[in-house]
Chain A
Amino acid sequence: MGGISGQAKPVKSLVSGPVAGIASFIIPGLGQILAGQFRRGLLLLGSMGSSIMLLFWRAHLLAHREIGVFDKFVKALNRRPFFTGLLIACSVFLWVWNAWDARRQTRPDRRGGFGIFILIILIFFALGWQISQIDLYKMVVELPDALPPLSKVLWPWKAAVTRETEVVSAGADILIGCDDNPPLLPEEVPGKPYLMADPTCGELSRMDESNQVVKGSTLTLTGRGFAPNTETQIWWADSMGNEFRPRQEREYVTVHTDENGAFKLKLIMPYRLIPPSAEGQQIHRVEARQISAVGNLIIADPLKLTLGRMAETIFMGMMATFFGILFAVPISFLAARNLMAGSWITMSIYYLTRTILNIIRAIEPLIWALIAVVWVGLGPFAGIIALTIHSIASLGKLYSEAIENIDPGPIEAIQATGATWLQTIMYAVVPQMVPPFVSFSIYRWDINVRMSTIIGLVGGGGIGFLLVQYIRLLDYRSAGIAVWFIAITVAMLDYVSSEIRQRFV
């Protein structure tokens, strides 16, 4: 900005001080422009204009029901007095300061000063804080909520093994929406577990317009004849027979049987969307299940799935690197300036190739994966396509730069011996290409395996696919197993790739 560099040739002001001040009071920055401080004026106009627009936008969000601008600000002030008040005060102050600044800028000896810009930066900071929903209070207060999942992720091995199980269960039918004849309780068979619900009808939990859960009816569940002193899971099955474990306070509902194998618990009927097409009586079922481990330790599903997906991930990275190299090698010749400098035709091929490579490289592999999922469907193949596309572009660029950097000396020396074109390539070009080629390819393989661990987040297969499912199911232990294996793989890869690089380069 003109103000800071005092040595710039002095520009004469077009207007007198008061006129500049008034001009800036009408349109911020205008006075500075008239005073010959063109860039300072534009900067003020741009930054004040955008900060005031942002302020209006935030006020509108806080009070979208109000109609008049004034009403909106009053409502906004009521809802967030500190934030809105501070910003309004700062803006008004800034407006006045800007007019005063314009007056000052007309005097050649009093030009410059960047205090006003510090204030603008402060205003943007306050806006940014609010817009990006930074909430330190929540961060501190709700920290304890993060600890249980964190500890499960850090030490997930309880979920890695399991024993063969035997299920003891009993259930009761529940009618959705009470009418005159709710379902009868099941008959109690001596020697078998028995579950009784009271009442046997009620309303499910549901969501209101603002996505808040409205609690459903509360059932009292009484169980008898179960194994004593054992953890018992509560399951729910809807009228279609889909089973799930209801949660209360984020935890799965479980209960411990007493020494007689009995329990009693209150269950709020869970949230379940009933399809609009469903007709007639909706009979759901609540079940109490005891799962007891019998037999030997076996590898649990999360570990089994993780191992399988991990292998898939490594091979995805490998295949993508392989295909990437395959296509990048020929393309890199087209993108090497020294090889394409021959004529305007080859030069335009060079520029075209370079441009396409740059565009492809600028798009993240995750975005390519989204496109590939639409193209070939969910799964590792989509991930391979995405990573291959990105690998071709980035390897193509790296290889072509390696070709551009080879030393022409050995080429002419080998040609001078009477060697053929192929011999020249093999003896003079290839030896020079090997180190950058190996090192770039390994580097890319490294990146591809890392990328394929997360490409599953968008449906591109691999371990990320599993990880995101576990996280959505709040199954932090299983997620932890996946995280551990990702870390182990990446560490191993680091080691292997640096070893290979040392061998070859």
Chain B
Amino acid sequence: MLEIKNLTKVYDDGTVALRDLNFNVESGEFLVIIGLSGSGKSTLLRCINRLIEPTQGKIIWEGIDITSAEPAQLRKIRRQIGMIFQHFNLVNRSNVLTNVLSGRLGYVNPLTSIYHGFPEKDRKLAMQALERAGIADQAKKRADELSGGQQQRVGIARALMQQPRMILADEPVASLDPVLAHTILGYLESMNQDEGITVLCSLHYLDLIQRYATRVIGLRDGQIVYRGSREDIRRMTDDEFKEIYGEEAVRVSAGRTEKGVE
């Protein structure tokens, strides 16, 4: 479904964030990317939908090279790929419904949507997405009036609105407490299993990785240092985990310690 070939990213200041990465993502996977803060996870995820321009290499989506896509084509690809962020990235002053509806922007008429005109069926879709995320009663509230967990559900509803084939999730639970982490990842898991949406997600904590991942890629200094199957991860010990992460990592429940959290 997605092929990453020789992907390299060098920032303007000379930082080499990604070095010659090669891997494939199969349809229906829950692929988790692990790595210390600064290892290049965010950069990798953002290169895939070109929020960050890759320096070198190819990213092939369904046979089309994203890195050389024209703007219109790129927008068509982007709308098939939902994205979820660590800090939710909602528009705080807009209400929840508008935030969710904005997930539909890649599909609607660019001109009528400017004054917030969305077709009736999109509004229905938005309410369904909110119901699915369990926050339909909050639709009229301003986004910044919600709690962190609720905001991330809005983020998920927004991604759902794209009717995506893949979701990129950049540390979606790193700023939430452990109970909420399982709720949010539970939504991702059900989307992955029930609708066959491919998930590409960066995570920090071994117990979460073991619970949700079907495959793992470990990054260090922009290079892949570990590839593991579901079984490999289940068997993984703290020492092996430490090897990927370096000495800083500890086996912890998500959120209980600040160590390793970005």
Q: Is the CB of B102 within 8 A of A414?
A: yes
Proximity string of chain B (19-44) to chain A, C-beta cutoff 8 Å, 1 when within and 0 when not? 00000000000000000000000000
Q: Is the CB of B105 within 8 A of A414?
A: yes
Note all chain A residues with C-beta closer than 8 A to B161.
417
20 contacts between A and B (CB under 8 A): A410-B89, A412-B51, A413-B89, A413-B90, A413-B158, A416-B49, A417-B82, A417-B103, A417-B162, A418-B78, A418-B79, A418-B107, A423-B105, A423-B110, A423-B113, A427-B102, A431-B94, A432-B91, A432-B93, A435-B93
By the criterion CB–CB under 8 Å, are B75 and A419 in contact? yes
- Given A409-B85, A409-B89, A432-B93, do A417 and B114 touch, yes or no (CB 8 Å)? no
**B106 interface contact, C-beta 8 A:** yes
Is B87 touching A415 in the complex (CB atoms < 8 A)? no
* Chain B stretch 74-121: residues in CB contact (< 8 A) with chain A: 75-79, 81-83, 85, 87-94, 98, 102-107, 110, 113-114
Q: Which residues of B contact A (CB under 8 A)?
A: 46, 49, 51, 75-79, 81-83, 85, 87-94, 98, 102-107, 110, 113-114, 155, 158, 161-162, 168
B165 to chain A, nearest CB (A): 13
* Cα-based distance from A434 to B91 in the complex (angstroms): 12
Closest 4 CB pairs of A and B: A418-B106, A418-B79, A409-B89, A413-B89
Assembly CA distance A426 to B162 (angstroms)? 19
Are A434 and B106 in contact (CB-based, < 8 A)?
no
Residue of B nearest to A413 (CB): B89
Whether B51 and A417, one on each chain, are in contact in the complex, defined by CB atoms closer than 8 angstroms, is no
CB neighbours (8 Å) of A432 from chain B are 91-93
Place the interface of chain A in its size category.
20 to 34
A418, B98: Cα distance in complex, Å: 16
Residues of A within 8 A of B106 (CB): 417-419
A49 and B104 alpha carbons, distance in the complex (Å): 76
Considering the complex, give the chain A residue whose CB is closest to the CB of B46.
A412
| B105, A412: Cβ atoms closer than 8 Å | no
Q: How far, in whole Å, are A420 and B75 apart by their CA atoms in the complex?
A: 8
Residue A278 lies at the interface, judged by CB distance under 8 Å to chain B: no
With beta carbons under 8 angstroms apart, the residue of B79, B90, B110, B168 that contacts A410 is B90
Complex contact B113–A413 (CB within 8 A): no
Q: Which residues of A contact B155 (CB under 8 A)?
A: 413
Q: Which residues of B contact A426 (CB under 8 A)?
A: 114
The reply to whether A412 and B93 contact each other, CB–CB distance below 8 Å, is no
Bound-complex Cα distance A487 to B79 (A):
57
CA distance A345 to B173 in the complex (A): 41
- Chain B positions within 8 Å of A410 at CB level: 89-92
A-side contacts of B75, CB under 8 Å: 418-420
Please report the C-alpha to C-alpha distance between residue A70 and residue B83 in the assembled complex, in whole angstroms.
89
Residues A180-198 near B (CB distance < 8 A): none
Q: Which residue of B lies closest to A412 (CB)?
A: B51
Q: Check A428 for interface membership: any CB of B closer than 8 A.
A: yes
Q: Report if A140 contacts B (CB, 8 A).
A: no
Are A417 and B89 in touch, CB under 8 angstroms? no
A415 to B: closest C-beta gap in Å? 6
B91 and A417 contact, CB distance less than 8 A: no
Chain B residues closer than 8 Å to A418, beta-carbon distance: 75-79, 105-107, 162
Closest to A411 in B: B89
Q: Complex formed: what's the CA distance from A317 to B49 in Å?
A: 48
Which A residues are in CB contact (< 8 Å) with B114? 422-423, 426
Question: Closest CB-CB distance, A279 to chain B, in whole Å?
Answer: 77
| Inter-subunit contact B113/A434 (CB<8 Å) | no
